[in-house]
Amino acid sequence: MADTESMSPLFDWLKDRAAGVLLHPTALPGPHGIGTLNGQAVRFLDLLQLAGVKYWQVCPLGPTGYGDSPYQCFSSFAGNPYLIDLDELVTHFLLDQADLAALATLPSDRVDFGGLYERKWPLLFRASERYEEAGSPPLFGDFDDFRESNADWLEAYAFFRALKDHHGGRPWWEWPAVLRSYEGALGTTLKAELRVAIQAHVFTQYVFFGQWARLRAAAAARGISIIGDIPIFVAADSADTWANPDLFELNPKTGLPLAVSGVPPDYFAADGQLWGNPLYRWDRHAEGNYDWWINRLKAVFALCDVLRIDHFRGFDEFWRIPYPAVNARKGTWAAGPGLDFFREVQAALPEARIIAEDLGMLSPTVKELHAATGLPGMAVLQFAFGDKPTNLYLPHNHTTNSVIYPGTHDNDTTLGWYAGTDEKTRDHVRRYLRVDGREIGWDFIRTSYASVSRLAVIPFQDILNLGPEARFNAPGIPAGNWQWRCSQAQIDGLFSETAPYLAALGEMYAR
């Protein structure tokens, strides 16, 4: 990459200072066990508008599988049916109010994904059957038009989900050999036999995309842009790998990965991190001008205005761990697609607004690639303290073309982090920020607003001044993540004082 320093950046979009809030829609309040795309989501947008916030950042919006992580989805293109507002299906006579009683006993302060799986899916299937019986009326535009315009991913996804249901939820590499690829499955009679289930999965996508489009329009009407998110890798058990096995490092006979993703051992993890995602055959992607990836990006930009790509480093080099493995110790660095990939993206999506997740230890070549793309990177305040003054996350080292966060979805809340860190780090925080630490959450918010970073994104839990009980995800801990939810009272309580205060901060710091 020696030639990248003299080149003009491929992307240069982050021009204006602004503030954003990070909150995944599943964490919104609501009566049916999970946040949905309903009026309470619009109420949240009203709060952001009053606070002068211009961006709402979410995690990936895809259908979650084992572990419930939005970063391990059954598809890179589909939406999450759990987010569907069922009350609207009642208004269209596709469900009865009595049907929703099945969800009434789910907890309101957290998401019980197991309970949702058992109770919401039958309701969605029931609504699909009634919708077909009613002649498929145009609730969100013509149903057949939706199906046809998304056929390049939707048909494979719906067939995959129907087959997965048919096989008791087992991963696709445990299915009979003939079904271990989309092409092979099409040669069987199962598509006809599973027509009702396939129709139901298409229907849920039709409703999700219709409801999301309306919510996005509500955000735009309030001057709010939505920041979406995608992981660089896809889940092993996904329609992506099942329908496109030649694009991944998979054993052609078993469907199992030849190698998987992760990061090597470091100061924080003696065994490294074994993520387990299958790896791309970047040579195949390059032969096709990265069409699959570009279509993936187009699909996300159809939902969002800005896109954060997780693990930017993987485009330069990635840690290749031979499969099977019990940890990430044994692996080798392999070359990613580099700048050629981003050239193709820029040619296909010249107006793309992308944020690069560039956290962690970065090699010189990763830094060169990042500079050549021109994409704004990230700075996290929780990573700034207790170290040397050269730490890039300290505010005096921030750059304008960046996004500052007190913490992300993978961090504890600021209150939780501060209480759990060592006294040396807390002392550094207090001396650097010239505070006493008694309002550390708001100290970090104010510091983020004051940063030279053009975009400051604040986790909603920090605005609510919550502790570790409100942590959204703890990486490396397999259970209990992605469950936190806020209440309607918490949102409503911010309108009178907190939202105007945030607006005043925004005015003070030109956000």
Dihedral sign from CA coordinates of 119, 120, 122, 127: positive
| Alpha carbon distance 408, 58 (integer Å) | 11
CB proximity list for 490: less than 8 A, separation 6 or greater: 29, 464
**Which residue type, as a one-letter code, is found at position 352?**
A
User: Span 62-66, mean pLDDT?
Assistant: 92
For residue 60, what is the DSSP state?
A: -
Q: How many other CB atoms are there within 10 angstroms of residue 101's CB atom?
A: 10
Q: Are 145 and 102 in contact (CB under 8 A)?
A: no
231-247 confidence digits (pLDDT tens): 999 999 999 999 999 99
The pLDDT of residue 7: 64
| Alpha carbon distance 403, 359 (integer Å) | 11
Give 72's pLDDT tier (boundaries 50, 70, 90). very high
The pLDDT of residue 475: 87
**Quick one: which of 292, 313, 294 has its CA closest to 302?**
294
**Which residue type, as a one-letter code, is found at position 411?**
N
CA angle 299, 114, 207 (to 5 degrees): 35
Give 477's pLDDT tier (boundaries 50, 70, 90). confident
The pLDDT of residue 5: 47
User: Span 52-74, mean pLDDT?
Assistant: 96
> Is 5 an annotated catalytic residue?
no
Given 46, 142, 387, 410, the catalytic residue: 410
Given 240, 249, 310, 412, the catalytic residue: 310
Q: Are 162 and 194 in contact (CB under 8 A)?
A: yes
pLDDT above 50 (res 4): no
Percent of the chain whose predicted confidence (pLDDT) is above 90? 95
Please provide residue 459's backbone torsions phi and psi, each rounded to the nearest 5 degrees. -60, 140
CB proximity list for 166: less than 8 A, separation 6 or greater: 190, 194, 197
37-54 confidence digits (pLDDT tens): 999 999 999 999 999 999
Q: Where are the alpha helices (DSSP H) in 290-422?
A: 291-301, 339-348, 364-373, 414-420
The pLDDT of residue 3: 45
180-226 confidence digits (pLDDT tens): 999 999 999 999 999 999 999 999 999 999 999 999 999 999 999 99
> Is 357 an annotated catalytic residue?
yes
Pairing between strand 402-405 and 455-459? Answer: parallel
User: Span 7-32, mean pLDDT?
Assistant: 95
For residue 299, what is the DSSP state?
A: H
396-426 confidence digits (pLDDT tens): 999 999 999 999 999 999 999 999 999 999 9
Which DSSP helix (H) or strand (E) runs through 43? helix 39-50
The pLDDT of residue 496: 98
Burial 273-284 (b: 16+ CB within 10 A, else e): bbbbbbbbbbee
> Is 316 an annotated catalytic residue?
no
169-183 confidence digits (pLDDT tens): 999 999 999 999 999
| Alpha carbon distance 385, 430 (integer Å) | 10
Given 237, 240, 357, 443, the catalytic residue: 357
Beta-bridged to residue 20, according to DSSP, are 55, 457
Parse the chain into domains and list their residue ranges.
Answer: 29-53+85-227, 378-511
Give 339's pLDDT tier (boundaries 50, 70, 90). very high
Extract the tokens encoding 173: 């590499």
| Coil, helix or strand at residue 119 | helix
pLDDT above 80 (res 119): yes
Give 385's pLDDT tier (boundaries 50, 70, 90). very high
Within 13 Å and on the Cβ side, how many CA atoms surround 310?
Answer: 17
Beta-bridged to residue 260, according to DSSP, are 278, 321
Mean pLDDT taken over the chain: 96
| Alpha carbon distance 46, 413 (integer Å) | 24
> CA dist 178 to 118, 184, 224, 242, Å?
29, 5, 47, 12
pLDDT above 50 (res 68): yes
pTM: 0.97
Extract the tokens encoding 111: 């998401």
Q: Are 226 and 305 in contact (CB under 8 A)?
A: yes
